[in-house]
A and B are shown apart, each in its own frame.
Chain A
Amino acid sequence: NAGVTQTPKFQVLKTGQSMTLQCAQDMNHEYMSWYRQDPGMGLRLIHYSVGAGITDQGEVPNGYNVSRSTTEDFPLRLLSAAPSQTSVYFCASSSGTGYSYEQYFGPGTRLTVT
């Protein structure tokens, strides 16, 4: 199993550009989520999904869109990149809701917006 994979590993964007951060998992997990990590701020939840076709907002959703058409994939779209979106982005998955909060994280995407 590859676990949780994220692409790209590094990305530089200009202000106003759009892009999609890819996330895939091969563990048949229902629950997937996106976090951003900024120095001194911990991990902040952007969006999450409890299954294919179901998504919901987290703590910092503005400027980001998600969709979940399959169990395996959960892409994060930046609509119009801003310097405030410079961050490290992590995707995570877990087997389900209820007591199953044991999340597996991907290696991260380091995004710089100039």
Chain B
Amino acid sequence: GQQLNQSPQSMFIQEGEDVSMNCTSSSIFNTWLWYKQDPGEGPVLLIALYKAGELTSNGRLTAQFGITRKDSFLNISASIPSDVGIYFCAGANRDDKIIFGKGTRLHILP
């Protein structure tokens, strides 16, 4: 079946650093989504991407829909303590199933 490879699995960074993570697939997706999950909570949508090549920002977050439709990237600038959590990518196609990656766990060192 379809799988999303999300990397890195975890990151340890200093407060104020920029963060980059990505998601790749062997399949093409029409939509890429990025979610964040705080401990004990459900995932919350950060950014949705609908066109190949699209670059979208949400505050300090920027995500891109890869030209090949097989990848997507998320960047966080000037990280702050509340950025800690698990970031999930998800891909979707017209058959209505949404496939999630395994997540990138972000840790911020004091």
Given contacts A42-B101, A97-B96, A99-B31, contact A90 B45 (CB under 8 A): no
CB distance from A62 to the nearest CB of B (A): 14
**A97 to B30 alpha-carbon distance, docked (Å):** 12
Asked if B50 contacts A99 (CB within 8 A), the reply is yes
B contact residues, total (Cβ < 8 Å): 26
A50 within 8 A of B: yes
Q: From A33, which residue of chain B is reached at the shortest CB distance? A: B98
Q: Can you pick out 19 interface pairs between chain A and chain B where the beta carbons lie within 8 Å of each other?
A: A41-B102, A42-B4, A42-B100, A43-B90, A45-B99, A45-B100, A48-B96, A48-B97, A56-B96, A90-B42, A90-B43, A92-B42, A97-B94, A99-B50, A102-B33, A102-B45, A106-B42, A108-B41, A108-B42
| Extra inter-chain contacts (11) besides given A43-B88, A45-B98, CB under 8 Å | A42-B4, A42-B100, A45-B97, A56-B96, A90-B42, A101-B48, A101-B90, A102-B33, A103-B98, A104-B45, A107-B41
